[in-house]
Amino acid sequence: MRKISSTFAAIAFLAACANGQDLPNCNIYLFKTAMQDSTLRLSDPQFLTVFNKNGYNNQPAFVNNTDLLIASAGPSDRQTDIYLLDLSAKSRMRMTRTAESEFSPKPTPDNLYFSVVRVETDADRSQRLWQYPLDRQDEGKASFRFLRGVGYYHWLDKFKVAIFNVTSGDLNYLSMADTRDAAIANLSPSIGRCFGTSPNGRLVYVHKVSSDNWVIKSLDKNSLEVTEITKTISGAEDFVVMKDGAILMGKGSRLYRYHPVKGKKWQEVADLKRQGITSITRMAVSGDGKLAIVNGG
């Protein structure tokens, strides 16, 4: 049943959001991180989305050390759009203004564009991968013309992208797609919504083997070799891969760290309840170690 429910969650949630329904209240916080001995320390907490604290603010992605893309909608908005937060200037810029809702913004590998999951206005509420120029000089284009079940995604290089692909029926697959020829290969069923890249360039993802067995795995994009890393924190599927290869996951107000080489078990590194964070979900990390955390969603 886990496979079916997670598939429906990807499509039904985005479709409902695109119709202005059931947008959860969620907010984004920022921390500085640093290693002290073998412990990860968080400091200098900032509440980034105070401008929309009663709205939807989700799916952060760093363009660089100071610019952060997010999907956002006000409490009364009928759809989501993409905004760019300038952390240095403490300003924000609206990046999309379309009839469709956009989710999951990420910079493309060449850093000239940002990509999104765009919920189309057709009868099927198709979910396609689009990309827009960061300088907003044109109205963007679809990355794949016929791929219409994109739940979530992650760029592997400037051509290849990993996709949480909702296929016919009740299945989701980890698929690999190539923008050069639109080729799509289905690799594994029943995956989680979160992706990352390890320091050696491997795709990191969650495989939901069964309802009570969720495993973090890595995949070589060329050989397609899969390696098991560790089980997830129970019931958690969102994670971020740090520069040193450590994996962070959250559950409730608590943040946990696992290093595939330096440690063989999850270690609690912070309880963020005092900062008002009680439901850690999505995360993003910058090159200089700033950590964005979504509370809720």
pTM for the structure as a whole: 0.93
**Predicted local confidence at residue 8, as pLDDT:** 46
What is the SS3 assignment for 135? coil
Amino acid at 26: C
| Cα torsion 283, 258, 278, 194: sign | positive
Pick the CATH number of 2-295 from 3.20.20.80, 3.40.50.11030, 2.120.10.30, 3.90.950.10: 2.120.10.30
For residue 19, the 8-state DSSP code is: T
Please give the Cα distance from 165 to 176 (Å, whole number).
9
The answer to whether 188 and 207 are in contact (CB under 8 A) is yes
Sequence ranges of the domains in the chain = 2-295
**Nearest to 14, CA basis, from 99, 80, 82:** 80
**Predicted local confidence at residue 3, as pLDDT:** 41
Q: Digits of tens for pLDDT over the chain (297 positions)?
A: 334 345 445 555 565 555 545 799 999 999 999 998 888 999 999 999 999 999 999 999 999 999 999 999 999 998 999 999 999 999 999 999 999 999 999 999 999 999 999 999 998 899 999 999 999 998 899 999 999 999 999 999 999 999 999 986 678 999 999 999 999 999 999 999 999 999 999 999 999 999 999 999 999 999 999 999 999 999 999 999 999 999 999 999 999 999 999 878 999 999 999 999 999 999 999 999 999 999 998
| Phi, then psi, of 273 in degrees rounded to 5 | -60, -40
**Predicted local confidence at residue 182, as pLDDT:** 95
**Predicted local confidence at residue 293, as pLDDT:** 98
